[in-house]
């Protein structure tokens, strides 16, 4: 598959999203990686499962420098499984559903890892609840026929992963920042949920 065809298919699967800036840079890298993986007969589902396994390992071993590595692997596998499905021409509704479910399960283990590091239960529970609600609203809008809600919130999955990553690094450096990071995340998540809710209802009534 040519790069131009790969970009076109990715855009089609993401509601006609424009490919530019950081997204284009990541897709350039992703394209080169998955070309090699495709030749090695690695399947998209194998990468999806690898991302979940990395998240589980993060939960099992939240302390030490291996924790940020497990988180990074979880994100990388999640970021390229869809690209591999495109280049191997194996995209399917079942694959998309599996990827979405695994994404949510992976975030469960991210949150459990933070709990094991001593994160306060109530804000951690609220953060996770709001994040799940945000993703549910996107999925529900898709079920009603809307390909995109039309807004990128301030607490999308990469941002949530970045906050977890910062918390893991802070723990390794013995910096007592867990509460500050978590309350910042909670504030961002509340704003994000409001953004998604308003945008979704505006699209549905227009």
Torsion of CA 163, 96, 45, 100, to 10 degrees: 30
More confidently predicted of 9 and 187: 187
- Count the neighbouring beta carbons within 10 Å of the beta carbon of residue 189: 25
pLDDT of residue 4: 83
Q: For 175-192, what is each residue's pLDDT tens digit?
A: 999 999 999 999 999 999
pTM (two decimals): 0.85
Q: Cα separation of 185 and 177, whole Å?
A: 12
What is the mean predicted confidence (pLDDT) over 89-106? 85
- Count the neighbouring beta carbons within 10 Å of the beta carbon of residue 162: 14
Given a contact cutoff of 8 angstroms between Cβ atoms, the answer to whether 152 and 138 are in contact is no
pLDDT of residue 187: 96
More confidently predicted of 121 and 13: 121
- pLDDT-based confidence at 74, cuts 50/70/90? very high
CA distances from 128 to 155, 161, 205 (A): 12, 12, 28
Least confidently predicted of 57-71, 85-99, 172-186: 85-99
> Chain centroid to CA 185: how far?
15
Residue 150 pLDDT more than 60?
no
Among residues 85, 108, 102, the alpha carbon closest in space to that of 51 is found at 102
pLDDT of residue 30: 86
Q: Cα separation of 123 and 189, whole Å?
A: 11
- pLDDT-based confidence at 201, cuts 50/70/90? confident
């Amino acid at each position: 598959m040519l790069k131009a065809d790969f970009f076109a298919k990715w855009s089609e699967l993401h509601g006609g999203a424009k490919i530019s800036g950081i997204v284009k840079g990541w897709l350039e890298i992703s394209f080169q990686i998955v070309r090699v993986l495709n030749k090695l007969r690695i399947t998209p589902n194998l990468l999806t499962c690898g991302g979940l396994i990395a998240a589980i390992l993060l939960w099992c071993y939240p302390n030490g420098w291996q924790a940020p590595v497990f988180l990074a692997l979880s994100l990388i596998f999640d970021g390229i499984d869809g690209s591999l499905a495109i280049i191997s021409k194996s995209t399917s509704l079942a694959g998309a559903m599996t990827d979405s479910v695994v994404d949510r399960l992976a975030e469960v283990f991210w949150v459990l890892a933070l709990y094991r590091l001593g994160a306060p239960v109530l804000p951690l529970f609220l953060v996770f609840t709001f994040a799940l609600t945000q993703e549910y609203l996107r999925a529900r809008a898709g079920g009603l026929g809307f390909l995109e809600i039309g807004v990128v919130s301030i607490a999308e999955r990469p941002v949530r992963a970045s906050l977890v990553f910062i918390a893991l690094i802070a723990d390794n450096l013995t910096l007592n920042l867990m509460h500050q990071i978590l309350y910042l995340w909670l504030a961002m998540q509340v704003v994000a949920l409001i953004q998604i809710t308003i945008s979704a209802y505006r699209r549905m009534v227009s």
